[in-house]
């Protein structure tokens, strides 16, 4: 199934897999999704992800604590293809007082909100994760 918004597809599939308590979820591959998944892995929201270049697929392993409670509590898409939201580095939100991350597409690449503030660059606010 083809999607027009790869970021929304990624967030929706992660949210659905988390709610169903699946161990992993398979996605179609793209550079934007890979960069977002790298940020989620660095910040401890997912356990790991594997890339299958032959089939152009990504398998994302979700991270759980005791009693299959997910580390991911929420994923929200902020900017969409129909309504872009751009922010300066002063306006990048703090998500749950630092417990979550904002993912921003900047001229330096796709980075989390803290890195964008440190680099003093703004950009398109893609999503927030907590």
Question: Is 129 within 8 Å of 54 (Cβ atoms)?
Answer: no
Please tell me the pTM assigned to this model. 0.94
Phi, psi (deg, nearest 5) at residue 113: -60, -40
In this model, does residue 1 exceed pLDDT 80? no
Cα-trace Rg, the chain: 14
Count of structural domains within the chain: 2
pLDDT tens, 32-52?
999 999 999 999 999 999 999
In a domain, 55, yes or no: yes
Residues 26, 52, single domain; the answer is yes
Residues 10, 56, single domain; the answer is yes
In a domain, 1, yes or no: no
Residues 99, 62, single domain; the answer is no
Task: Give me the pLDDT at residue 38, please.
Answer: 98
In a domain, 32, yes or no: yes
């Amino acid at each position: 199934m083809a999607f027009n918004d790869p970021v929304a597809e990624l967030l929706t599939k992660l949210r659905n897999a988390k709610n169903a308590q699946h161990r992993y979820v398979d996605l179609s591959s793209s550079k934007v999704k890979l960069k977002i998944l790298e940020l989620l892995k660095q910040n401890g929201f997912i356990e790991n992800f594997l890339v299958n270049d032959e089939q152009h697929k990504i398998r994302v392993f979700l991270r759980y604590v005791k009693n299959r409670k997910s580390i991911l509590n929420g994923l929200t898409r902020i900017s969409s293809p129909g309504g872009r939201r751009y922010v300066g580095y002063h306006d990048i939100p703090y998500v749950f007082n630092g417990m979550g991350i904002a993912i921003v597409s900047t001229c330096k690449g796709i980075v989390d909100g803290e890195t964008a503030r440190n680099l003093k660059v703004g950009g398109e606010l893609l999503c927030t994760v907590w």
